Amino acid sequence: MRYSKKKLEKLLCLEDFSLAAQRYLPSFMYAYISGGVENNSSLAQNRRIFDELGFAPRVMRDVSHVDMSTTLWGDTYTAPFGIAPMGISAISAYRGDAVLAGAAQEAGIPMIMSGSSLIRLEDICSVGPNVWFQAYLPGKQEQIEALVARVAQAGFQKLVITVDTPVAANRENNVRAGFSTPLRPTLRMITDCALHPRWTFGTLMQTVLRHGMPHFENNYATRGAPIISRNVLRDFSDRSHLNWAYFQRIRAMWKGKLIMKGVLTAQDAQRAVDEGADGIIVSNHGGRQLDGSIPPLLALPEIVRACPTVPVMMDSGIRRGSDAMKALGLGARMVFIGRPFGYAAAVGGQPGVQRAIELFATEVKRNCAMLGLTRASEMTDAYLRTLSPASHFERYLGKL
């Protein structure tokens, strides 16, 4: 049902997985993954911003061996990229979180499990230490404490708190495509499923038959709503009142590494570090929250400069090894990629994710060699130029 090895070999870059998934998934499911928010402005800018920078490669250096390893807080990963957290992955792909985690662990890169996942966090934690957990904070202090205690009890060492969702995003594209959480079956949805039998039988039916109706397992310490339901409203807790005091209490409770995801200003990043954050993920949620929010690549240099003591990472819009190199050049220690790995899991299961990881790792390695680098960790802004003197980046290059 899913893509064979031979078919996966025909996919040559991350964007190819998007085209494959568009054919494979029902349109409501593809719309959920691919979409941004409102006018999709941030989604488009997340990609465009990479074109503001070009490379100034160095030549005649022995690049016969390129080391891509990256060390964060004493842990070494094989490459400077990882898999971003994606909610409900186990319904877009068969056992989605497990195949993403399995492929990442095998490849030696980090994978962040979403709090809006449909497989119990304990089951994914056991895949290995490369799996980090991302939480959406529940609205009440006692719920937060119970969730953090559960994540610690499961054995996770890295906790990522996503902070760019104080209220629900205006995902009109989801409404237009008939997508909601929980999924509410309609005639249109059933027709869509019938037209995409590979997903319907290979993912949806297999999941329900083998594992029962999926539920939101990890938004709280206890089980949440089922994914398919006519009536039950998903328990979207109101987090609009959350503030730094909640973060302080989590810091006091959580003994592992604490990472804040969804930061776009130097002020917030600095405050997070002052409050005890061990790392920052600069992100606009892949353009899925505030439409018009600046591309993370734009915010990256000022955040790197403001937070010299912790790893600054980023995501949103990275599709090529060259994009990753630009982010590393601006000071990111690790980049995360979302949608393409979600598509890879959907069309190809774990071998699909492995293929996507290999393709991307090969691009990063090739780009290092082309730039004259024997280590990815040696990428700096010395290898970057702005393509226009009016570029935002002009004031940072050479000063990072």
Question: At its nearest, how many Å lie between ligand FMN and the CB of residue 382?
Answer: 26
Q: In angstroms, what is the minimal distance from the CB of 84 to ligand FMN?
A: 3
- Choose between 288 and 326: whose C-beta lies nearer to ligand FMN: 288
Minimum CB distance to ligand FMN, residue 261 (Å): 5
Question: Could you say which of 93, 204, 325, 337 contacts ligand FMN (CB under 6 A)?
Answer: 337
Residue of the chain from 42, 114, 218, 293 that contacts ligand FMN (CB under 6 A): 114
162 binds ligand FMN (CB under 6 A): yes
Q: How many other CB atoms are there within 10 angstroms of residue 118's CB atom?
A: 24
Beta carbon of residue 63, minimum distance to ligand FMN (angstroms, whole number): 28
Nearer to ligand FMN, 53 or 260 (CB): 260
Kind of pairing between the strands at 257-263 and 312-315: unpaired
Chain positions 298 to 317 lying near ligand FMN, rule: CB under 6 A, are 315-317
Site track 227-266 with ligand FMN (rule: CB under 6 A), x = hit:
----------------------------------x-----
Amino acid code (one letter) for 330: L
Instruction: Compare residues 339 and 365 and give the one whose CB is closer to ligand FMN.
Output: 339
Q: Which is nearer to ligand FMN, 257 or 261 (CB)?
A: 261
Instruction: Catalytic residue, from 65, 196, 215, 285: name it.
Output: 285
Q: Does 224 bind ligand FMN (CB under 6 A)?
A: no
For residue 89, CA distances in Å to 77, 343, 376 come to 23, 10, 30
Q: Is the CB of 182 or the CB of 397 nearer to ligand FMN?
A: 182
Select the residue whose beta carbon is closest to ligand FMN and give its number.
Answer: 338
**Residue 158 CB, nearest approach to ligand FMN (Å):** 13
Q: CB-wise, 174 or 350, nearer to ligand FMN?
A: 174
Secondary structure in 3-state letters for the chain? CCCCHHHHHCCCCHHHHHHHHHHHCCHHHHHHHHCCCCCCHHHHHHHHHHHHEEECCCCCCCCCCCECCEEECCEEECCCEEECCCCCHHHHCCCHHHHHHHHHHHHCCCEEECCCCCCCHHHHHCCCCCEEEEECCCCCHHHHHHHHHHHHHHCCCEEEEECCCCCCCCCHHHHHHCCCCCECCCHHHHHHHHCCHHHHHHHHHHHHHHHCCCECCCCCCCCCCECECCCCCCCCCCCCCCCHHHHHHHHHHCCCEEEEEEECCHHHHHHHHHCCCCEEEECCCCCCCCCCCCCHHHHHHHHHHHCCCCCEEEECCCCCHHHHHHHHHCCCCEEEECHHHHHHHHHHHHHHHHHHHHHHHHHHHHHHHHHCCCEHHHCCHHHEEECCCCCHHHHCCCCC
285 catalytic? Reply is yes
Out of 31, 86, 193, 227, which residue is the one contacting ligand FMN (CB under 6 A)?
A: 86
342 binds ligand FMN (CB under 6 A): yes
Q: Minimum distance from CB of 87 to ligand FMN (Å)?
A: 3
CB of 169 to ligand FMN, least distance (A): 10
Site for ligand FMN in 1-40 (CB under 6 A): 33
Q: Which residues bind ligand FMN (CB under 6 A)?
A: 33, 46, 84-87, 114, 116, 134, 162, 261, 283, 285-286, 288, 315-318, 337-339, 342
Active-site residues, by number, are 285
